[in-house]
Structure 1
Amino acid sequence: MKTAVRMAKDITFPLIFADFKEITKVRLAISVVFSSIAGYLLGAYEVSVSSILLLAFGGYCMVGASNAYNQVIERDLDALMKRTRNRPIPAGRMSVSMAMSIAIGLTLLGIISLYLLNPKTAMFGAISIFLYTSVYTPLKTKTPLSVFVGAFPGAIPFMLGWVAATNDFGIEPGTLFMIQFFWQFPHFWALGWMLHEDYQRGGFKMLPTGKKDTGTALQIIMYTIWMMVISVIPAFGITGRLMLSIPAAILILLLGGVMLFYGLKLYAKRDSVTARKLMLASVSYITLMQIIYVLDKFI
């Protein structure tokens, strides 16, 4: 009885809020919201603050729901890995039923919010949750192809913003989708390289060859090059309303060149220090690339 009372006293609002942020992966969710807003600004004829707020709220809910479902499904595997064993469910701070309630609640709130923008946005949001939870998550322990499957829901946010602004899916949001789709391979393989041993404890197969070898590094280089090419295609005037000036394209190529440099360095050194630098470069790339696209439209 005394133990239960002591535990109840230990459960404070800051701790509950911290666990909510953990189960929804707040930093990842915010980065997804950022991508969605960037896509919205690129597609919008007129910027609506209310639409941006709906998109931000709905986007956070959808990502948060996906992550909560993921942590429910992988709770036993999370307990085996150093980086995840202190998550709310394996650490015993949150019950599975509570996590599921959060996931379902966020799903409903997210779909409703995105539907208020337009039905297509809600549809793509729902598709991303389904693919992430029902296809990508189970495949992570089965095959390295899980990264390919996971790249589909992961590429939706940038595109989703355009669809939210226009209620239309065409070559423009398709191009935004492809940029973020190809970016994910060097990003997640660099992360998988860094955490390879920990992922092995959980049985996750995240590297394309299953090893930290030159084969994996070579694929990182190839996908980085494809990402760079697709990122500057709008500069050639073949992607409808999605356009990019030559100076902006050069800046984006330079940013991609930093990733390519670390990819080549990883091929030569095959160490986790370089993999970390590549991962950080990839985070900088996706953020700065989207900022350049938006500034290039409005300046």
Structure 2
Amino acid sequence: MENTRVHTSTVSLISDLKEITKMRLAVSVVFSSIAGYFLGADSVDFLTVIMLGIGGYCLVGASNAYNQIIEKDLDALMDRTRNRPVPSGRMSVNTAFIIASSLTILGLIILYLINPRTAMFGAISIFLYVSVYTPLKTKTPLSVFAGAFPGAIPFMLGWVAATGEFGIEPGTLFMIQFFWQFPHFWALGWWLYKDYEKGGFFMLPTGKRDKGTAVQIVLYTLWTVLVSLIPVFGMTGKLYITPFSAILVLLLGLGMLYYAIGLYRNRDEKSAKKLMFASVSYITLLQIIYVLDKLIRVWI
């Protein structure tokens, strides 16, 4: 019986750690950073890739943990978040803070060992997410704009980790992920509008599920696709994609635009949910196409 309790406790602790660091989100962010690394690296150092993955996960996990500490009372009001470790009472604020602080220190040390610039951008990301984006979520719809900055850093962070430099190439990667976040988070905010309303969060640009919000979602989707195609014109230094890959990215973009227009037409939760998942597919497949394009060109 005692062994069963110990096992259950261990499983529960692991589950809570996954939840407080938002493991699935953190893994997707790490994937973005590693994609950026492969784009920037002349030769792949797998030790650096591992360090980038671990350091990146630590910082994203820390950001999410701090976020859940700050929003514990609001999370308790919403259906999708009330069972998180802190608002549910399974984990104390002190324990969550120790986890967040430890992950922050560990993450910054690991990224610093890659190179100082990587650690600097990692530190900027966690600061903006915790100290700017999180407090603004209950104050103004501009919180999404503020959150787009730390959210756009991971893709470019990988390039900086590979080269130790910041220039037009990582700047372009930053822009792609920056613009992408608006249709992504507004679709999420539309889909979960009622739940966010319970917590007092302002996620939509007009504050409502209306035509104005839908128009902005379509516009930012267009800008996301256009920015994603810039590397094909050879104006972004060493960051380049072939016309064939650009066509694939364009087709992906048209697919995402299709769902954005669908939301504009229908203005319902179902359409918003479809666009949200389409946006996740878009950024993931775009990163894969970018990396494969480079690898194939190198091999050929």
The TM tier, using the shorter chain, reads over 0.9
For 2:154, the equivalent position in structure 1 comes to 157
Q: C-alpha distance in 2, partners of 1:226/1:204?
A: 26
How many matched pairs? 293
For 2:244, the equivalent position in structure 1 comes to 247
Is residue 102 of structure 1 aligned with residue 62 of structure 2? no
Given residue 19 of structure 2, which amino acid in structure 1 is its aligned partner?
E
Given residue 196 of structure 1, which amino acid in structure 2 is its aligned partner?
Y
Q: C-alpha distance in 2, partners of 1:265/1:107?
A: 41
For 1:197, the equivalent position in structure 2 comes to 194
For 2:86, the equivalent position in structure 1 comes to 89
Instruction: Identify which of 129, 134, 139 aligns with 1:132.
Output: 129
Given residue 69 of structure 1, which amino acid in structure 2 is its aligned partner?
Y
Q: 1:38-85, CA deviations, whole angstroms, 9 ceiling, x for partnerless residues?
A: 000000011001000000000000000000000000000000000000
For 1:56, the equivalent position in structure 2 comes to 53
Q: C-alpha distance in 1, partners of 2:33/2:225?
A: 20
Q: C-alpha distance in 2, partners of 1:11/1:294?
A: 41
1:214 deviation in Å?
1.0
Given residue 263 of structure 1, which amino acid in structure 2 is its aligned partner?
A
1:291 deviation in Å?
0.1
Q: C-alpha distance in 2, partners of 1:10/1:210?
A: 46
Give the direction of change, closer, same or farther, for the CA distance of 1:203–1:10 in structure 2 (3 Å limit): farther
Instruction: Identify which of 39, 42, 51 aligns with 2:39.
Output: 42
Instruction: Identify which of 197, 220, 235 aligns with 1:223.
Output: 220
Q: 1:220-244, CA deviations, whole angstroms, 9 ceiling, x for partnerless residues?
A: 0100111001101000000000001
Give the direction of change, closer, same or farther, for the CA distance of 1:87–1:247 in structure 2 (3 Å limit): same
Is residue 297 of structure 1 aligned with residue 256 of structure 2? no
Q: C-alpha distance in 1, partners of 2:6/2:293?
A: 53
Q: 1:258-297, CA deviations, whole angstroms, 9 ceiling, x for partnerless residues?
A: 1101111111110100111000100000100000000000
Given residue 118 of structure 1, which amino acid in structure 2 is its aligned partner?
N
1:10 deviation in Å?
8.6
Q: C-alpha distance in 1, partners of 2:129/2:242?
A: 34
1:11 deviation in Å?
5.6
Is residue 186 of structure 1 aligned with residue 183 of structure 2? yes
1:12 deviation in Å?
1.1
Q: C-alpha distance in 2, partners of 1:93/1:279?
A: 30
Given residue 147 of structure 2, which amino acid in structure 1 is its aligned partner?
G
Given residue 202 of structure 2, which amino acid in structure 1 is its aligned partner?
K
Structure 1: runs of 5 or more not aligned: none
1:90 is paired with a residue whose SS is coil
Q: C-alpha distance in 2, partners of 1:98/1:154?
A: 26
2:18 is paired with a residue whose SS is helix
Q: Trace 1:202-217 onto structure 2 (pairs within 5 A).
A: 202-217=199-214
When the two structures are superposed, what TM-score results if normalisation uses the length of structure 1?
A: 0.97
1:12 is paired with a residue whose SS is helix
For 2:256, the equivalent position in structure 1 comes to 259
For 2:114, the equivalent position in structure 1 comes to 117
2:275 is paired with a residue whose SS is helix
For 2:233, the equivalent position in structure 1 comes to 236
When the two structures are superposed, what TM-score results if normalisation uses the length of structure 2?
A: 0.96
2:119 is paired with a residue whose SS is helix
Q: C-alpha distance in 2, partners of 1:165/1:188?
A: 29
Runs of 4+ aligned residues of structure 1 deviating over 4 Å after TM superposition are 8-11
